[in-house]
Amino acid sequence: MRLTDIPTPAVLIESSRLERNLDRMQEAATARGLRLRPHAKTHKSPHIAAMQIERGAVGICCAKLGEAEVFAEAGVTDIRLPYPLHPVNAGRVFDLADRVRLSFIVDDPEIADAWSNAAQQTGRRLNVLVKVDVGFHRCGIDPVSNEAASVVQRIARLPGLEFRGLLSHAGHAYGATSEAEIAAIAATEAELLRDLSERSGVDCEEISVGATPTVRFSLEETGLTELRPGNYAYYDRTQVGLGAATFEDCALTVLARVVSHPARDRVIFDSGSKTLTTDGARGGHAGGYGAVLASPDETAPDLNLVIDRLSEEHATVRAMSGGTRLRTGDLVRIVPNHSCVVSNLVDHVWLVDGGRVVDKLPVAARGRIT
C-alpha cells in the first residue's frame, strides 16, 4: 500500500525519523549515565513503548491509570505515573501494583497519609515520589517554602509507602522565548531538586526531571538520575520553535487533502480540529494550526501557507502573498503544533517509510482519561 492510498485525513508516523529520535535520546541519556523513562502519552502505543524499552529505557511514564492498565496488559513491567493519584482510585492502584512495578507522585501530606493508611490496610507498600514545583505552578510542593524539607521527611517516613525520591516537570519551558531561557529553567530545576534533597536529608534513589524542551540542558546537570521526556518520539512544530528539533526530526504528520479552493488565496483541507486540535503555536511561531508541507514528499514547510482557522472537519488555509499552486484533490502533510494531542484523536496511526505504508498501529491507550 502506498501513502497516497490512505483515506484522508490520517496521522502518519515516519518510521525512520521515529527510530532516529528514539536512538538519539537513549544514546544521550546512556552517555551521561542517566536512566531514560519516556512518557508514553505522546504515542499511547505499546508497539512504540517496546521500541523504547528495547533501546534501554528503564520503563515508561503514563498520565492516568487507564493508560497504565493498557501498557501493563501489553507487557510493560515498570510504570511511573507522574500524576497526583487520589485514594478514591486505590482499588485500581493496588490491582496494577500487583502486576507491575508501579510508582506515582504525591504533593500533599494529607493525601500521602491516606495512601499510607490504604497500603497498610492491604499489607502492601506503594512506591511514591514527592512532586516538586520548579516553576510551572501546576502540582507540587514549593521547594523554597520553609516546610518543604519537613514535608519530604514526613512522607519519606510514612508506613506502607516506599519513598523513591523527588520528581519535577518544567512545563513552563514551553513558554520560553529563547534558548537561554530554556537553559536557565533546566539549571534552576536541577538546583532546586538538589537543594531540597540535601536539606531534607532523606535518601533519594531518584531525582527525576522530564520535558522535551529542557532535556538537552538537563543532560549537563549533576545530581539527576532520570529523564522523562515524551514528545521527543514524534516532536512537533512547537519543539522546532523551542529549538529542541528541526522539521526534519518531526516524525508525526497529518496527511490531508485539499477539498475546496473557493478563492485564489484560500484553500480548505479536510483536517480540522478533530485531527489537529486547537492547541496553539508555541515557541515563537507566528501563529496558525500547524506547518504545511505542500506535497506528501516535501520536507520543508511552505511558509506562505497559514492554517488560519480550524473548524472540526475543515482547515481554512490562506496564502499570505499571491495565490497557491495547490488544487482541489491535492495531498499535503501538516506538522501539527502539538503531536501528543493528535495521537489522542485517532484510533490508529499509519507507520510509513517515505511513500510506502509499513504498518497500521493501534493507539491502544487513546482516550483513557480516568
Whole-number Å distance between alpha carbons of 261 and 317: 10
Contact between 84 and its own copies by CB under 8 A: the answer reads yes
Size of the site for its own copies (CB under 8 A): 60
Residue from 184, 259, 294, 358 that binds its own copies (CB under 8 A)? 259
Contact between 41 and its own copies by CB under 8 A: the answer reads yes
Contact between 171 and its own copies by CB under 8 A: the answer reads yes
Nearer to its own copies, 89 or 153 (CB): 89
Residue from 124, 194, 274, 285 that binds its own copies (CB under 8 A)? 274
Which residues between 173 and 202 bind its own copies (CB under 8 A)?
A: none
Report, in Å, the least distance between residue 111 CB and its own copies: 6
Enumerate residues 6+ apart whose C-beta is below 8 A from 95.
Answer: none
Whole-number Å distance between alpha carbons of 306 and 294: 11
Whole-number Å distance between alpha carbons of 308 and 313: 14
Contact between 111 and its own copies by CB under 8 A: the answer reads yes
Which amino acid type is present at position 110? E
How far, CA to CA in Å, does 367 sit from each of 81, 83, 187, 234, 310? Answer: 16, 16, 34, 19, 22
Residue from 31, 110, 123, 159 that binds its own copies (CB under 8 A)? 110
* Residue range at the interface with its own copies (CB under 8 A); choices 30-38, 176-184, 239-247, 305-313: 305-313
Spatial CA neighbour of 149 closest among 87, 193, 101: 193
Contact between 7 and its own copies by CB under 8 A: the answer reads yes
Helix (H, G, I), strand (E, B) or coil at 117: helix
What does the per-residue mask of binding to its own copies show for 310-349, with x meaning CB under 8 A?
-xxxx-x-----------xx----------xx--xxxx--
End-to-end Cα separation, the chain, in angstroms: 36
Whole-number Å distance between alpha carbons of 98 and 118: 15
Whole-number Å distance between alpha carbons of 167 and 153: 15
Which residues between 120 and 149 bind its own copies (CB under 8 A)?
A: 133, 137-142
10 Å Cβ neighbour count for 298?
12
Whole-number Å distance between alpha carbons of 242 and 331: 28
Whole-number Å distance between alpha carbons of 140 and 104: 13
* Residue range at the interface with its own copies (CB under 8 A); choices 27-35, 80-88, 207-215, 352-360: 80-88
Residue from 18, 63, 79, 128 that binds its own copies (CB under 8 A)? 63
Nearer to its own copies, 95 or 220 (CB): 95
Q: Under the rule (CB under 8 A), what is the footprint of its own copies?
A: 7-10, 41, 63-64, 83-89, 107-108, 110-111, 133, 137-142, 171, 257, 259-263, 266, 268, 270-271, 273-275, 277-280, 309, 311-314, 316, 328-329, 340-341, 344-347, 367, 369-370
